[in-house]
Structure 1
């Protein structure tokens, strides 16, 4: 069992299921309502923990009721919570999520306290990064905190997984230090200008990321699977698993958390990708985000069944 350190966001998910996603200016009558733990950092940490990793979570929450529920979730999942910061000034982050009958979603996030994470918060958690088998990062926290975490990992020679989501332009030099970068098609387009629609376009996007310094490029493509490229011009498409989709929210987080666990436990990259795909497939068969993350026994049983 490896140690996965996640430095990232936690938000409370407020989700409504609806017949269709509303157009601008449209009100849609939906239901039912579901509230639960979320945020890309929280989701990925949950996915890694349920997969079998020892998880250390670096985040910031408020002292409100959502923050109290966050701590209960962290304890239930077995996180090391020594580096969860609490803000007296800022509320716990929240996400408003609409999910239609096809499982597609629309999300608006108010980062709250986790959006105020600072370099100092990361420096306080230096030991958690130093002892990690892999550091997992996203872009839902302040860039100052992400950059500090990258620098700490470099100093300790810890592999870095960067999930560049939600996509926003970030310093190009970050990619030179990233061991694994895991964009989806939208994020790959933002990073490279390439619209990823098939294996050939995915290879072009991956090649640009390699040229920018990225190590292993993993482009997640939903039902079409994953494009894996370890070096320029030599990528391969890995097919996904066909399942009945209930809710796609959090599928990428399930993949990243499962993949991080697999790498931390010593799996080869190809096997880790397959493990992450299984985690993602299982997650979309349930409603919700963190609560939909599968456990190790479920993933093993699923892989045994489909392979």
Structure 2
């Protein structure tokens, strides 16, 4: 069984429906309310685990009820939490999520403990890095944690997927050590200065990222799908799969967790992206983030594989 190491955030999602996004100073009556496990790292770890891969999570939570629930969640999802630690002072992170009637969302993340992951926390997990077939990380933790993760993966010759979300500046020196980068349109623009609105502009942005030193670029384009580029040809657009959308909040995390897993499993990037697109499509048909991640049997049925 292929091993996926996720270094990233864990927060508790506090979600509610709203008829429309409130204007400044406006109070809107919404509902229903839902609370559950989340965070980009936590969601991506669940996505990989439910697809049948052996997942180890490195994150930090607080000495609080939400922290207790984090360990319960990892156990239930069969995720190795050996490198999940507790911060002595910071609370477990939270995300405030509003989803409107068009299934669009607005999110405010208070990272809390997972924003305090240190260089030492990452280096103490060297064995997990050595045993992993791929490392997956995001920008929802401390910059120190991200930099150390990329440096250690590079030192050990391990492929690494960087999901540059939520956006923070990433140095060119670090990008040269990234195997796969998976920005959305906004993150691609902030990384390259190119406004990504279609396949052509996605190609332009991807070329810039390749010139910065990244090996493979996967730009997620929402309803349009995703664009793959490695500098050897003109790239390829993988269309999205049309489904009845309930909540788009966890789509990117489902995609990233699946993409990293399938790449680690030996799938070529195009095939891995097709399967990751399908995982994301399934996720948006359900309400929530981590709870919406599809299981392997659901994905196979969706793809007509029995």
TM-score, normalised by the number of residues in structure 2: 0.98
**How do residues 60-71 of structure 1 correspond to structure 2 at under 5 angstroms?**
60-71=60-71
Distance 2:110 2:81 in 1: 22
**Residue 199 of structure 2: aligned partner:** 199
Distance 1:170 1:46 in 2: 26
Distance 1:171 1:210 in 2: 14
**How do residues 116-265 of structure 1 correspond to structure 2 at under 5 angstroms?**
116-231=116-231, 234-265=234-265
User: What is the aligned length?
Assistant: 306
**Residue 296 of structure 2: aligned partner:** 296
Distance 2:152 2:175 in 1: 15
Distance 1:69 1:15 in 2: 17
List runs of 5+ in structure 2 lacking aligned partners: none
Are residue 87 (structure 1) and residue 96 (structure 2) matched?
no
Distance 2:195 2:276 in 1: 23
CA contact (8 A) 1:18 1:100 kept: yes
Question: What's the CA shift for 1:25?
Answer: 2.1
Q: Is the alpha carbon distance of 1:146 and 1:85 closer, same or farther for their aligned partners in structure 2, counting shifts above 3 Å?
A: same
List runs of 5+ in structure 1 lacking aligned partners: none
**SS class of match (1:14):** strand
CA contact (8 A) 1:206 1:232 kept: no
Question: What's the CA shift for 1:232?
Answer: 5.7
TM-score, normalised by the number of residues in structure 1: 0.98
Spell out structure 1 runs of 4+ moving beyond 3 A.
none
Distance 2:24 2:184 in 1: 25
CA contact (8 A) 2:151 2:174 kept: no
**SS class of match (1:177):** coil
**Residue 54 of structure 2: aligned partner:** 54
RMSD after superposition: 1.2
Are residue 105 (structure 1) and residue 66 (structure 2) matched?
no
